[in-house]
Chains A and B, each alone.
Chain A
Amino acid sequence: MGTLFPIGKKVAITAKSPVPVAGSGDDHTGKTGKVRGYTDLAKDDIIHVVDLDEPYFVYGPNDPKFDVVTGKPVQGNKVEWIEVPGSCLS
Chain B
Amino acid sequence: MPYFYDLEFASTTNATPSTETTQMAGKQVAAGAVLGLYGFILCGRSLTAGGGAGRTKTNTAGGTVFSGGTAQTPTTKEPRAPAAQSTWVNGGTAITAGTTLLVRNSVGFAQTGGTGGLQPITPQAAIQVEGGTTPNPVDIEFTNLSSTASIACDITLEIGEGL
Contacts and interface: CB of A to CB of B under 8 A. Distances in A.
Nearest to B133: A41
Interface string B43-80: 00000000000000000000001111111110000000
Chain A facing B: main interface SS: strand
B71 A80 contact: yes
Interface stretch (A8-16, A17-25, A64-72): A17-25
B124 to A, nearest CB: 25
Given A39-B65, A40-B65, A77-B70, A58 B134 contact: no
A39 to B, nearest CB: 6
Interface residues of A, number: 23
Chain B facing A: main interface SS: strand
Nearest to B9: A77
Interface in A31-90: 36-42, 49, 58, 60, 77-83
B130 to A, nearest CB: 14
11 contacts: A20-B96, A22-B87, A23-B71, A23-B87, A37-B30, A38-B29, A41-B134, A42-B134, A49-B87, A79-B71, A81-B87
